[in-house]
Structure 1
Amino acid sequence: MRRRHGFTPRTGETQPLGEFTETGKFGRMFPKLPSFTPSQQSLTELGEAMNDPSPNTADGDNLSVPAGFTYLGQFVDHDITLDTTALQETLVDPLAVQNFRTPKLDLDSLYGSGPDVQPYLYQLDDPDLFLIGTTNEKPGGGDPSVPTKLPNDLPRAQSTLGILGDSRNDENLIVAQLHLAFLKFHNKIVAGIRDGSIKPKNSTDKSVFIQARELVIWHYQWIVLHDFLTRILDKDQLETVLNKGRRFYNFKREPFIPVEFSVAAYRLGHSMVRAAYNYNRVFTPLPGGVTAATLELLFAFTAKSGKLGDFANIPIPSDWIIDWRRFFQIDPNVQVGFSRKLDPFLVEPLKNLPNVPPPSSLAVRNLLRGRSLGLPSGQSVARFMKLQPLTRAEISTGADGAVAVKQKFDIESPLWYYILKEAQVQGQGKRLGQVGSRILAEVFVGLLEADSSCFMARCPDWKPMLPAQNPGTFTMVDLLKFVGELNPIGDKK
């Protein structure tokens, strides 16, 4: 395995920067740190202890992060990584693991290879526009009074699978509806360019499609950097990377995805998932609803994951169209749901994943995955970053901490577990701690800086130009308001 070295302007010293890697590969952020490979039995016991002790109480809610950001994080993940290798017992060389997504925030999961190469993603008579699907012709789900055949589903093939750039965005209904929102975001920008209400700068030599795609991607990148990351990261770590540059995530020509990021730090979202959601006026635990939108239902009402008998081979019923006001802070008169706290606890449904080979616990699978890829311990990463590691007393708290002490993980901890425990201790469950924040900040900023088509490279002084609550910036709330379909099925009268 080849290593590379680089010159660091800050110290004037030559030091290892990371694994040499070609485009499309994973690599290591800390190649000189030793792998932490405890027994599978010890990791299994720790993973089994990582259960949310009170999944149905507000005590575990993160009031700083609305629930929609859980799934925006998953959407972003599908934009930059796709690892198809199976869970292994033996160590895996990260450089041998293929990433089937471009390591860029370029929405290739949305656009695919464009209308010329993948015309089935676009409208046949107007390939500047994405194809949009309709909901079921029959009433279904929970409220037969909701109108049918609404333009609020993914486009679907005869097999009912979604026609989209990344099939994983049809595995969970919230992510599927988020993907649909981005399709409509593009289409509305195309309409604005055509009618003159949107006037991109320096675009006279570009087609309407290229102008729209650039605006969509730049506003999306802005959201990731200034709306998503600012909510989940330690402010000091993010600002240090933005103002003083990266120190730990470096590459020679093309960026790669570090396994410390993909297999540990960015799996923070698993802790944010709720067991049930206030989804819309039909599927809500609030008075007047039929039932809460449980994780099981959210997976069931998708063609790729669902097994619903009569509903298995049809688009979603209209009463499963999302009410975005319940997932983002859009309307102060509508009760918004929040993500769960960032801590070492996962809700019960994630302990028994359906249709996967053993182990069925997501926590156990994550820990074993980290072992198979030879991740370093959390404490060794903290020391390498010149940060103070968590104390043994801090790690020993809670039911998970008792198992950690038993397995001596209070001395050296699996990186994914350490990052979640750090979020609980340093971030009070609201955001990641220092190590987790620094890994995410370095990688996301690095991916943006390495992309020659990104607004940070093409136009560093660029500011979002679309309508926003605060002009000159842009948030997920602004995107959803711009699309304009916040609650297509309306409220009960």
Structure 2
Amino acid sequence: MYQRGPDRDRFVIGETSDTPGRGDPSVPVRLPFDLPRGPDGTALIGDPRNDENLVVAQTHLAFLRFHNQVVTELKAGNIEPIEPGQVSSFEAARQLVIWHYHWIVLHDFLRRLIQPSVLDEVLQGGRKFFMYDREPFMPVEFSGATYRLGHSMVRASYDYNRVFTPKPGGVTPATLELLFLFSGGSGSVVPIPSDWIIDWRRFHDVDAAVTPGKSRKLDPFVVPPLTDLPEFRHEPDERLRSLTFRNLKRGVQLGLPSGQWVARHMGMTPLSPVELSTGRDGAAARANGFHVQTPLWYYILKEAKVQEDGLRLGQVGSRILAEVFAGLIQGDPSSFLNIYPHWKPTLPSATRDDFTMADLLNLTGDLNPVGAELTNGPEPDCQAPVVNHQPARRYRAAGGSSGQV
């Protein structure tokens, strides 16, 4: 989100002053609900991939608004900076945001996705397999296989807001095709229409009256839309249109080891050929020899199904994710794991000394801008917020702000 910082990437920073402006969440005006964009619709964000589908884009936007809210609370004296005496509200907010984000990754996201005991082992006992000298890197076992687990969790459609929902009163479910269409990276509809603003209550546990949707369980399958990717429909070989085949092919191209090899390397007992032959995919696994020499991506998903009923990763997958995420955060010299290992979150939260994605969204507000019912009132503003920073900048992205992202 911050890229290299305001002094080196000024195009992301809006013009600022001491007068509250458009980007200040404390101002009682309609707030923007789309990413900051240039004249051609390109999102002015650190990583353009975060604009490839609408849910990810709205998540990135939530973090921009989170930063702005932290700035507002700092200036109001409602919260304290981590380091007393920090002059720049931007830098104080950035440190608070990054540390709380790292906490969310480790203690909210990872604890849901992997075996919690494995994370505790890594944080308390140290890493054993993901090692580096000075600069951390992205291991191919992580990027080319294990962290592609999300492809199995994706649903074909979502209960997105009161308009795009399979529930009574909705127009249509938010299909994957639509979620990719209403974005700048993969689609062409920007800024987003007001009825495509996300209802966070349907994705995170932020409202006791609303039950959020869940991802698919982890298993060696993907939903049908991912077996016929629109961007590859020109391929004469039908297999190349399938994300499953492309993941397996990529593993071969990267020279990834088998799941059995990784398990043994970690001192674990691999899944047996019998375990790998179970389920609806068992016959295909045997036909391709996957029950004895299993591609790592497939192994991670099968392990999750066999060992954890698809509710979280199994032992090998959990270890890889725990080591890589902890290692990448430890590779940041400014992270709390390096500066203050026993630090606990300080921002307002439902549970003392903890901070979750739900807490972040509650702090930011605007959980359901589209509303629960049709109204004749003004539509939510879909123009973009700007980054609130202390010194004034020449570039004016979408109106002034008073210290924010």
Normalised to the residue count of structure 2, the TM-score between the two structures is: 0.86
CA distance in 1, matches of 2:89, 2:316: 43
Match of residue 347, structure 1, among 210, 217, 223: 223
CA apart distance, 1:465: 0.6
**What letter is aligned with 2:209?**
N
Deviations 1:113-140 (A, max 9, x none): 222222221212349999969xxxxxxx
Aligned to 1:466: 347
1:325 aligns to what? Answer: 201
Pair 1:124-2:5 in alignment: no
> Unaligned stretches of 5+ in structure 1?
1-109, 134-148
Counterpart-to-counterpart distance in 2, 1:126 and 1:393: 66
Query: Helix, strand or coil: the match of 1:355?
Result: helix
Query: 1:26-59 CA deviation, whole Å, 9 max, x = no partner?
Result: xxxxxxxxxxxxxxxxxxxxxxxxxxxxxxxxxx
Letter matched to residue 195 of structure 1: A
Give the one of 54, 57, 76 matched to 1:173: 54
Equivalence for 1:487: 368
- 2:285 corresponds in structure 1 to 404
Q: Separation in 1 of the partners of 2:245 and 2:18? A: 45
Deviation at 1:486, TM superposition (A): 0.5
Q: C-alpha separation between the residues in 1 aligned to 2:19 and 2:57?
A: 21
Q: Secondary structure at the match of 1:243?
A: helix
The answer to whether the aligner puts 1:240 opposite 2:116 as a matched pair is no
CA contact (8 A) 2:119 2:322 kept: yes
SS in 2 for 1:442: helix
**Cα distance change, pair 127–355 in 1 and its aligned pair in 2 (3 A):** farther
2:104 alignment partner in structure 1: 223
- Out of 298-307 and 365-374, give the one that drifted further: 298-307
CA contact (8 A) 2:201 2:367 kept: yes
Q: CA RMSD in A?
A: 2.0
Quick one: which amino acid aligns to residue 212 of structure 2?
Answer: V
Are residues 1:185 and 2:185 paired? no
2:396 corresponds to which residue? none
Contact 2:127 2:323 in 1 (8 A): yes
Amino acid at match of 1:118: D
Note the 1:28-177 alignment, pairs <5 A.
Answer: 110-126=1-17, 151-177=32-58
Q: Is the 8 A contact 1:248 1:442 kept in 2?
A: yes
2:78 paired residue number: 197
Amino acid at match of 1:342: L
* Structure 2 unaligned blocks of 5 or more: 25-29, 375-405
Matching residue's letter, 2:4: S
Contact 1:132/1:155, CA 8 A, preserved across alignment: no
SS in 1 for 2:215: strand
TM-fit CA distance, 1:245: 1.4
Between 1:394-403 and 1:265-274, the stretch displaced more is: 394-403
* Deviation sequence 1:241-294 (CA, Å, 0-9, x none): 122211111112221111001111111111111100000011100011101000
CA 1:377–1:228 in 2, change beyond 3 Å: closer, same or farther? same
2:197 pairs with 1:316:
no
Going from structure 1 to structure 2, the CA distance change for 1:126 and 1:299 (only over 3 Å counts) comes to: farther
Once the 2 structures are TM-superposed, how far is the Cα of residue 323 of structure 1 from its aligned partner?
Answer: 0.4
Contact 2:23 2:31 in 1 (8 A): no
Verify the 8 A CA contact 1:132 1:152 in the aligned structure 2: no
Measure how far apart 1:460 and its partner are.
1.4
Secondary structure (helix, strand or coil) at the match of 1:220 reads helix
Q: What residue is the counterpart of 1:291 in the other structure?
A: 172
In the alignment, the residues of structure 1 paired with residue 368 and residue 58 of structure 2 have an alpha-carbon distance, to the nearest angstrom, of 12
**Structure-1 residue corresponding to 2:141:** 260
3-state SS of paired residue (2:264): helix
State whether residues 164 and 174 of structure 2, in contact with CA within 8 Å, keep that contact through their aligned partners in structure 1. Answer: yes
- Greater strand share, 1 or 2? 1
What is the rounded CA distance, in whole Å, between the counterparts of 1:400 and 1:386 in structure 2? 27
Query: Following the alignment from structure 1 to structure 2, what is the Cα–Cα distance between the partners of residues 162 and 128?
Result: 26
Offset, 1:236: 2.5
Contact 1:150–1:318 (8 Å) recurs in 2: no
> When the two structures are superposed, what TM-score results if normalisation uses the length of structure 1?
0.71
Matched, 1:427 2:316: no
Aligned residue for 1:440? 321
CA 1:131/1:462 → structure 2, altered by over 3 Å: closer, same or farther? farther
Structure 2 distance, partners of 1:337, 1:248, is 35
Q: Decide whether the 8 Å contact of 2:227 with 2:243 is kept in 1.
A: yes
Task: Answer yes or no: is the 8 Å Cα contact 1:219–1:464 preserved in 2.
Answer: yes
Contact preservation (8 Å) 1:171, 1:302:
yes
Query: 1:338 is matched by which residue type in structure 2?
Result: K
Q: Does the CA contact (< 8 Å) of 2:3 and 2:46 recur in 1?
A: yes
How far apart, CA to CA, are the structure 2 residues paired with 1:165 and 1:179?
10
Output one character per residue of 1:431-461: Cα deviation in whole Å (capped at 9) or x when no partner. 0000010011111111122221001111112
- Kindly indicate whether structure 1 or structure 2 has the higher relative contact order, using CA contacts under 8 Å at least 6 residues apart: 2
Is the CA contact (8 Å cut-off) linking 2:218 and 2:304 kept in structure 1? yes
AA aligned to 1:391 is S
Structure 1 residues 129 and 474: CA distance shift in structure 2, 3 A:
farther
* Residue identity in the other structure for 2:206: I
1:214, CA displacement in angstroms?
0.4
Q: Is the 1:326–1:337 contact (alpha carbons within 8 Å) kept by the matching residues of 2?
A: yes
Aligned partner of 2:254 among 373, 392, 414: 373
Output the CA distance in 2 between the equivalents of 1:130 and 1:454: 31
Deviation for aligned residue 1:199: 1.1
Question: In 1, Cα distance between the equivalents of 2:327 and 2:6?
Answer: 29
Taking structure 1 as reference, are residues 126 and 182 closer, same or farther at Cα in structure 2, changes over 3 Å only? farther
Distance in 2 (alpha carbons) for counterparts of 1:263 and 1:355? 20
Query: Do the aligned partners of residues 128 and 392 (structure 1) sit closer, same or farther apart at CA in structure 2, a change above 3 Å counting?
Result: farther
